[in-house]
Amino acid sequence: MNCIFCLISPDKYLAENEYFFAIRDIHPITKGHSLIISKRHTPDFFTLQPEEMTALLEISRIMRNLLDEELHPEAYNLLMNCGSAAHQSIFHFHLHFIPRYHKDGLSLRAINEKLRSIAF
């Protein structure tokens, strides 16, 4: 399998639990932009198992606490694309965890355009 997410080394992890790990996005659209990625190769949110959904909430809280302490963002966008029509480009579940700042100059439309422009 040639999945870029399946090849990520654990020494790159910011946080992890039994089902997910988090890393910094290699093309961040804001300071601290991170990805929460399933350890199991599964295409999207709708293919996660119930225990994985619970673990996703858990690691989301961990990431929020980590980023709050490190960067003090004022808000967050949590984004996922499910399917090619939604511009998903890597078919391995991942959640964009995007810290937001009042003067970052990004609208939700701008975020979507930036994500589309860096898609593989």
Positions marked active-site: 94
Evaluate whether 76 touches 97 at the Cβ level (below 8 Å).
yes
> Which bin fits 83, alpha (ψ -120 to 50), beta or left (φ > 0)?
left
Q: Backbone phi, then psi, for 105, in 5-degree steps?
A: 75, 15
User: Residue 24, Cβ neighbours under 10 Å: how many?
Assistant: 14
What span, in angstroms and rounded, lies between the C-alpha atoms of 76 and 16?
19
Q: Which two tokens stand for residue 59?
A: 């690691």
